[in-house]
Structure 1
Amino acid sequence: MHSDWLWVIFTLAAALAQTLRNATQRGLIAGLGATAAAHVRFLFGLPFGLAFLAALLLLTGQMPPRPSLVALGWMLSGSLMQILGTALMLSAMSERSFVVTIAYTKTEPVQVALFGIVMLSEKLTLPLIAAILIATSGVMIMGWPARQVPGMDRHRLKPALLGMASGAFFAMAAISFRGGILALQAENYILAAITTLAIGLLMQTAMLTAWLALRDRRALREIIQAWRPSLGAGFLGAVASAFWYLAFALESAARVRTLALVEILFAQIVSRNMFRQKTSPRDAIGIVLVVVGVVILLNS
């Protein structure tokens, strides 16, 4: 089942599922708040993650790999970083448009590349560096303010900082989950990825449930009451994470997260159809740069 191009399919599927999940979660922010809305993807994603693992075990007849303390450490780090990244992203979405927020978070590939060198000793080639810089420039053009306006510090800078901080946490999460998958040392990469998914969701659900139980029990009750829309976000979140981890099992985090910039194209489609947000000429230039960067990446 291993293929040089299989990671591309997994990444594209993950980006599409994540775009739809983000759009679903965005609608929950007003009623639940950023932290509670972030919890939705984990709490309601956990049953699906466990179901994916159970189905895989039944189909293959295998037992899940027994995680070492090193693997669990990577997964715990990834789980915490992903929680923080999601909360910051949803906070930024409440300040700016859907597409612009996604653009800010997509400074992530540059940070993934740097963290990958430091944490996993991954190597970068010149074509990969060019692809990262060109594609990231595209999303920054889409997200950068067109001109200085009154109140920019409050209305423009804050969501920019939230979005870029979110990207940093997502970058560390990507590196950590890839580290966890590799540390499992499983013969079957699919089993390693789905096991990491189930353990990660279990950790994230436990952490955020405990946090809200101590700090905001009302929000926890409201999450349960909003189970219908939350169920969709949880399912999409579990599907997106499953495909991300499958891609991480086959390819470096830097390449996966650079290709993942196609999410900005999916976000444009969603914003036009769901949120009635128009695409400007500058957005079009940014999209072209993203596409050029992805083409370089796939041919590197």
Structure 2
Amino acid sequence: MVTLLAATAQTFRSLTQKKMKPVLGDTGASYIRFSYALPFAWLWVLGYQAMSGLAMPGTSVMFWVWLSAASLMQVLFTIFLIRMFSHRSFAAGTAFSKTEVLQAAVFEALVVGVVASIYTVFAIALGAVAVVLLSLAKTNLNRGNMVSVLLSRQTALGLLSGATLGLSTVFFKAAVLALDGGDWLLSAGYTGAMAVTVQTICMGLWMYFSSARNELVLSLVHWRSSLSAGFYGAVATAAWFTAFTLYAVAPVRAVGQIELLFTMALSFFVLKEKTNTIETLAIILLVVSIIMILLGG
């Protein structure tokens, strides 16, 4: 249920970002998921702490190392994903980012020593096949142009977004594990809120001192339209971090691919994008993959 909540919130956040992209630009649309999530994230943490009576968890040097690395990876992922929207449909752009699930399984084994079972790896791989089909469904891929498609800018952005998202999720889990004290819900929420704080400050400073300053100003001017992206982003962050605290990262992210089904539905009903036979087959494979992981867990 926590993963379902995270996937749902993330879908609506991404949809809001895409709608704001023509107004704010790539960087501005990326920034609002952090800046406007900040108050909601801390409201949840402070509210839960007040109700539970628990003290904030203690931090360590390794917590800040993992948090900083994860925050940087997530900022890069967001920029790559938003830029993909300029090359692919909304659904396909999100599909490219889902290459992170298999990568996350490898990163998790290397960083925190959590190794997925053969059954889980097979289910994740099945989902990865579905994602690849979705990614290629609306291309004119054939033997003649296969190499050019695989070496295209879209593919590179997809692989980069997958790698950075996979690394960020594993690094965030490592950060939570490095905390001292606090229950799992407070630890997850605190890590998420601190991550959003670091991302907001660092990305904001970079935008201010770079050519993206105008996009920073626009993100402040259009705060009413951007606020929903922050709300959905904060909900998604809290839910994802809670799931990562309780379970292994790779299976959680694999189940989280249900977001792709939500995205397909929004693309069809809201953005009026058509779904073809290959996409339908991929959706079936993705559903089977998710069910296998849920039953196996």
Residue of structure 1 aligned with 2:239, choices 233, 239, 243: 243
Q: 2:190 aligns with which of 191, 195, 207?
A: 195
User: 2:38, 2:215 → 1: CA distance?
Assistant: 19
Counterpart mapping for 1:278-293 below 5 A: 278-293=274-289
Contact 1:92 1:160 in 2 (8 A): no
Question: How far apart in 1 are the matches of 2:271 and 2:180?
Answer: 44
The structural deviation recorded for 1:61 is 1.3
1:93-172 superposed matches below 5 A: 93-144=85-136, 145-148=139-142, 153=148, 157-172=152-167
TM-superposed deviation, 1:219: 1.5
- TM-score by length of structure 2 reads 0.94
Q: Tell me if structure 1 keeps the 8 A contact 2:69–2:168.
A: yes
The amino acid of 1:252's aligned partner reads A
Q: Distance in 2 between matches of 1:135 and 1:185?
A: 36
Question: What does residue range 208-227 of structure 1 map to in structure 2 within 5 Å?
Answer: 208-215=203-210, 216-227=212-223
User: Which whole-Å CA distance do the structure 2 matches of 1:290 and 1:207 have between them?
Assistant: 36
Q: Is the 8 A contact 1:29 1:94 kept in 2?
A: no
Q: Which runs of 5+ in 2 are unaligned?
A: none
Aligned counterparts of 2:254 and 2:165: Cα–Cα separation in 1: 13
CA RMSD across the alignment? 1.8
Cα offset for 1:299? 1.9
Q: Which amino acid aligns with 1:194?
A: G
Within a 5 Å distance, the mapping from 1:30-49 to structure 2 comes to 30-49=22-41
Cα gap change, 1:98/1:12 in structure 2, threshold over 3 Å: closer, same or farther? same
Equivalent pairs counted in the alignment come to 292
1:90 aligns to what? 82
Task: Provide the identity percentage.
Answer: 31
SS at match of 2:257: helix
Aligned residue number for residue 270 of structure 1: 266
Matches of residues 55-66 of structure 1 in structure 2 within 5 Å?
55-66=47-58
Amino acid at match of 1:10: V
What is the TM-score of this pair, normalised by structure 1? 0.93
- Partners of 1:236 and 1:94 in 2: how far apart? 22
Q: Deviations over 1:44-73 (max 9, x none)?
A: 110111111111111111221121111111
Partner of 1:296: 292
The Cα offsets for residues 3-48 of structure 1, whole Å up to 9 and x where unpaired, read as: xxxxxx1111100100110010011112222122111010111011
The CA deviation string for residues 234-293 of structure 1, in whole angstroms up to 9 with x for no partner, is 110010010000000100101111111111101111111221011111001101111111
Q: Distance in 2 between matches of 1:117 and 1:226?
A: 42
Regions of 4+ moved over 6 Å? none
Q: Give the deviation of 1:204 after TM superposition.
A: 0.2
Distance 1:75 1:221, change over 3 A: same
